[in-house]
Amino acid sequence: MSQHDRVTCAYHEAGHAVVAALLPEADPLHKVTIIPRGRALGVTMQLPEADRYSHSKPYLEAQIAILMAGRVAEELFLSQMTSGAANDIERATELARKMVCELGMSPLGPVLFRRPASAWDTDARAAGFSEQVARRVDDEIRALVMRGYETARQIIARERAAVKGLATELLEVESVDADRLKALIAQHVVPATPAITA
């Protein structure tokens, strides 16, 4: 891994981690690392406090913002856009699609929107295969992803110190655990936002 790839990765993961730490609805952080595993350059791991049977709308919105935060950090600190965000984009879009089409969490309401595999199959449990509905579904999905992107952008713009501090430490020690993350963020976080806790 080139030094440039290491720096990219450190800021990308630091972005994920800081946004995850500062969104109260998100699962708590477990570990952040820039040691490659498999096809991933780095990983930000979260641990749900308890087995969750269902997810709330703010929790899913937080997930989308966390997924967007990797690209946002690359843009704000390194002025770059890379293919490293492809998987984040895929997962964020899928979460947004689920919220709109299956979970009734958009202005379109609690209706299932799914075009059945073979058009109007009798078994298909779905509404929505007119172009008009498809357009509104597309708009809502895109709006949810862009809102998550904006949330991530605002947090990272405000907490530049925390992101930079974590990225610097990652470049030195490669992995940071939950306790050290809490300490780092407590040290750097902008004090004017007391309501947000890790």
Shortest distance, position 189 Cβ to a second copy, whole Å: 26
Restricted to residues 22-81, the positions that interact with a second copy (CB under 8 A) are: 36, 41, 49-57, 60, 68, 71, 80-81
Q: Pick the catalytic residue: 13, 61, 74, 159? A: 13
The enclosing H or E element of 38 equals none
- Residues 173 to 192: which contact a second copy by CB under 8 A? none
Q: Closest distance between a second copy and the C-beta of residue 84, in Å?
A: 4
Residue number, 30 or 114, with CB nearest to a second copy: 114
Nearer to a second copy, 124 or 161 (CB): 124
Tell me the angle at which helices 57-78 and 86-101 cross, rounded to the nearest 10 degrees. 150
Half-sphere exposure of 129 (CA within 13 A, CB side): 11
Site for a second copy in 112-151 (CB under 8 A): 112-122, 124-135, 137-138, 141-142, 145-146, 149
H-helix or E-strand spanning residue 43: strand 43-46
Nearer to a second copy, 125 or 179 (CB): 125
Distance CA 181, CA 30 (A): 9
CA-to-CA distance for 105 and 59, rounded, in angstroms?
A: 12
Yes or no: say if 42 and 173 are a contact pair by the CB < 8 Å rule. Answer: no
Catalytic residue check, 13: yes
- The residues annotated as belonging to the active site are 13
